[in-house]
Chain A
Amino acid sequence: METGSPYRGFLLAVAVVVGLLGFVVGAPALLGFSLAWAVLLATTFVAARRNLRGLEVLRRIPVSAFENELVTVDVFLENHGRRAARLVAVSDVFGAGLADRQAVLEVGPLPPQHGRPLAYRAFVARQWGVYTVGPLAVWAWDPLGLWHAAREVTLIQPFEVYPRVVEVASLRGFGAHSAVAPRDMTEAAAGQSLLFRGVREFRAGDDVRRVHWPATAQRGVPMVREAERDVQPLFTLFVDLSRQGRAGIGKKSSLELLVRAGASLLWTAHRCGVASQVVGEGERSLLIPVGRGELHLAAALHSLITARQTGTTPFLELVNAHRSHLPPGSTAILLVVATTELDPGQLGPTLEALRAGGVRPLLFAIDAFSLPPVERPPVPAATARIHRRELQAKLSELQVPVAILDPAEDLLAELQRPDLFAP
């Protein structure tokens, strides 16, 4: 949709040249011709601006989307003027898409004091990150299309793009812990849920209201009802944002793999209805407390896409610092970048300590040995291979589910493998 007229410059030139010719030759017809075009150009210039009067635009857009999603952006065109509006275009800049400016044409007539909701669909073509949407602009033309007038509305809104996510098939059986408030999930242990488990003999301290009288009459001793225990599955995602783990650039960087893997893990937890929390230490503390639901997922994904690998606290130190806050029975997922800086000797005790606290650890290690290191001298390939073998040997000794993610492979396909934790 061209905003400029292909005839305006030509007609301007015609008016000038023919006017000159008429003046020199003394032909009133040519002078009149030139004057008529000049008047028409002036009239249409005013008309274009007049057609823009009273037009307002608003926009409503979702705050986020995943990569390669189709987003519908609602635009409201309102005519507060006194004339009906025709052939008005509303343009917008959707930063997460590839197109420069997208426009929707309103043919009209849009009567005065009326509005029409318009919408356009935009494809999220860019990678994860935070983009802007806007500014909005409304365009109007004169009836001959010789001039256009535009008014920009500085309505710029942030728009977050989250990485494409997949369900991690092998992530089953999240550790759960007893819940105080009633939950949907229960486990075959004594508790307070509504799910009947059985009857047993009365013990000191049992609530008298739970006495099961028919069983008591049958057995001759006081019997109480027992219900299953409410449990709340919880997993904690530890993300390695330490500066030492930085490797690679662009799409083959450790941060890229961390964010994509972390997003898929959080998505899997959300889909299973599991409560989750995120812990990391980058430029700032990354602490998303325990929660469930879409808002919580959005907050967690937002923290991932805005994180930077510039933390100064070593990753294992971070895990040890938060270990005591993890409730027994929950799951801790360690998303670590395996480089030459990672000490396999310290990894074992950390995982043991987690297990000792009743927390089930899972390890996702991103094999960054093949990625060029950042802020460190490059490591010879032979040294990198030795470190990789040592780490793999150490990890295989630990009786902990370990998944090693190779940057050379398709990460999402790897995460979807059912045998991800197979040795």
Chain B
Amino acid sequence: MVAWDDRAATSPPLLVFWALALAAALGLGERLEPSFATVDAERRTRMAIFLGSLLLCILIVCVTVAAIRPSPGLLRFLVSTFSGCFLPVLALVRLTPHPRAALAHGFSLSTLAALEGGSTAAWAILSSFVLAALFVGVDHHARLLSAGRVDPRHQGGIALTRSVAVVLPVALGLAAFLAFAGRPRDPDPAAGPEARMRSDPKLEQAALRATIVAAIVGTGAVYVVGRLLIRRSRTGEAERLQPVEPLRGEVRRLSPPIGQPATVPVHAGRRGRIARAYLRLLAGAARAGFARHPHETPHEFAFALGQPQAALEAVTEQFVRARYGPLEPSEEDAEGAERQAEIVLDHFRRRRPTPRPAAVVEVDRTPGKGPTSS
């Protein structure tokens, strides 16, 4: 109204009247929520769709007519009418679970104002963007906390802070864009509305064609997107999580996971060489399907493995002495252990070790099947 009606721009009481009327309509809308809750959900949806379609038609007509610049009187009438339509939209805000109609109408009014251009357009666009984005953020927090059975009383500030943190950078960018890229529609700010109406008829026709095409394409796009959204909601509803009574414990610092393998001790010198040779042997046996059991000692493992006996016994003996003995092994001991370990590994490559006998045998009495082991 401020953009398109000069009287509104210079009449603060008119603006105050409209602001109070909108507030009253919103209050009435909130009051009507219990009444709407008694109406069948499907009937409410049909009513909302009908009213939404009606509003959309009015919007398209208003935008189209506004774009081709009718006479000031007609334009004022259209703007006032569309602004007035906001009152029933706000009064019926609780007809649907989410106030998208109110958002859409607000965006429509901002769009109409933006067609005027200049500072009014920038202000309308920026404020509607910021307010709508903050509303979406706070509404999300409220819905999530309510669904999660959490008391939302102390979360309002946090919801607003988090929303502002995301919206503010984009809003600043938008403001900068509007400041540097926006141009007033009329180069002569002193000219009145009548002067603005004088334009080239050819340009007017071109603008009219472009606007009608844009309106048709836009309506088609909205229709297609709407159908897609409805179809998706029918075939696979957006996943709903069933919130349960939450039980929360105290926050605690994470400790290293239990069972994490301890760091392998590094033995320096010849003891380390013999230990690493033995570990390579164990790794090779595991790859060949004969892993050492945790409870097995080196000698028990060598006995269970069996072959090659001589090399196994030698490397096992060297490992035990190097790992647990008091004396430092000699260079020959280290080289011998490494050599014997390679012999064993080479034996595994040529012939896999015999698997261990099963400890537990399950008897399957199905005819034709023998006992299975594990």
> Hey, which bits of chain A sit against chain B, CB under 8 A?
1-7, 9-14, 16-18, 20-22, 24-25, 27-33, 35-37, 39-40, 43-44, 47, 72, 78-80, 86-87, 89, 91, 99-107, 110-111, 113-122, 139, 141-146, 284-285
Contacts and interface: CB of A to CB of B under 8 A. Distances in A.
Given A6-B100, A28-B182, A119-B247, A35 B177 contact: yes
27 contacts: A1-B144, A7-B103, A17-B221, A17-B222, A21-B215, A21-B218, A28-B182, A29-B122, A29-B125, A32-B125, A33-B111, A33-B174, A35-B174, A39-B173, A72-B247, A99-B242, A99-B244, A103-B148, A103-B241, A103-B244, A104-B243, A104-B244, A107-B145, A107-B148, A116-B251, A119-B249, A144-B166
Interface of B: 63, 67, 97-98, 100, 103-104, 107, 110-111, 114-115, 117, 121-122, 124-125, 128-129, 133, 136-137, 139-141, 143-145, 147-150, 155, 158, 162-163, 165-167, 169-171, 173-174, 177-178, 181-183, 207, 210-211, 213-215, 217-218, 221-222, 225-226, 229, 238-254, 363-365
Q: For chain B, what secondary structure do more than half of its interface residues adopt (helix, strand, loop), or is it mixed?
A: helix
Contact of B140 (A24, A145, A285): A145
Contacts of A100: 240, 242
Nearest to B176: A32
Contact of B165 (A32, A99, A139, A143): A143
Contacts of A284: 364-365
Contacts of A87: 141, 144
A7 B102 CA distance: 12
A18 B107 contact: yes
B242 A101 contact: yes
B114 A16 contact: no
Contacts of B246: 104-105, 118-120
A115 B241 contact: no
Q: For chain A, what secondary structure do more than half of its interface residues adopt (helix, strand, loop), or is it mixed?
A: mixed
Given A3-B238, A27-B117, A87-B141, A33 B110 contact: yes
Contact of A25 (B115, B222, B239, B245): B115
Given A37-B129, A145-B136, A146-B136, 11 more contacts: A1-B148, A6-B100, A13-B226, A28-B182, A33-B174, A91-B241, A105-B246, A107-B150, A118-B247, A119-B247, A285-B363
A21 B150 contact: no
Contacts of B244: 99, 102-104, 120-122
A2 to B, nearest CB: 6
B170 A32 contact: no
Contact of B213 (A24, A28, A33, A139): A24
A155 B97 CA distance: 35
A146 to B, nearest CB: 7
A116 B249 contact: yes
Contacts of B214: 20-21, 24-25
- Which residue, of B107, B121, B215, B247, has the highest number of chain A Cβ atoms within 10 A? B247
Contacts of A113: 253-254
A318 to B, nearest CB: 12
A10 B144 contact: no
A234 B209 CA distance: 96
B238 A143 contact: no
Contacts of A145: 136-137, 139-141, 143-144
A86 B162 contact: yes
Contacts, number: 235
The 6 closest A-B pairs by CB, nearest first: A145-B140, A105-B148, A4-B238, A103-B241, A117-B249, A1-B147
A13 B248 CA distance: 40
B250 A116 contact: yes
B182 A32 contact: yes
B104 A14 contact: yes
A120 B247 contact: yes
Contacts of A139: 241
B211 A24 contact: yes
A171 B351 CA distance: 62
A20 B250 CA distance: 52
A106 B144 CA distance: 11
A1 B100 CA distance: 19
B364 to A, nearest CB: 7
B136 A2 contact: no
A13 B241 contact: no
Contact of A5 (B125, B140, B141, B171): B140
Given A43-B170, A116-B252, A144 B133 contact: yes
A27 B251 contact: no
Contacts of A78: 254
A379 B239 CA distance: 50
- Which residue, of A2, A13, A32, has the highest number of chain B Cβ atoms within 10 A? A32
Given A17-B218, A114-B251, A107 B107 contact: no
B111 A30 contact: yes
Given A29-B182, A107-B155, A144-B136, A47 B166 contact: yes
Contacts of B250: 116-117
A113 to B, nearest CB: 5
Contacts of A122: 244
Contacts of B158: 86
A258 B174 CA distance: 73
B166 A40 contact: yes
A396 to B, nearest CB: 36
Nearest to B244: A120
A48 to B, nearest CB: 11
B178 to A, nearest CB: 5
B2 to A, nearest CB: 14
Given A1-B243, A29-B125, A111-B251, A9 B170 contact: no
Contact of A44 (B147, B166, B218): B166
A36 B133 CA distance: 10
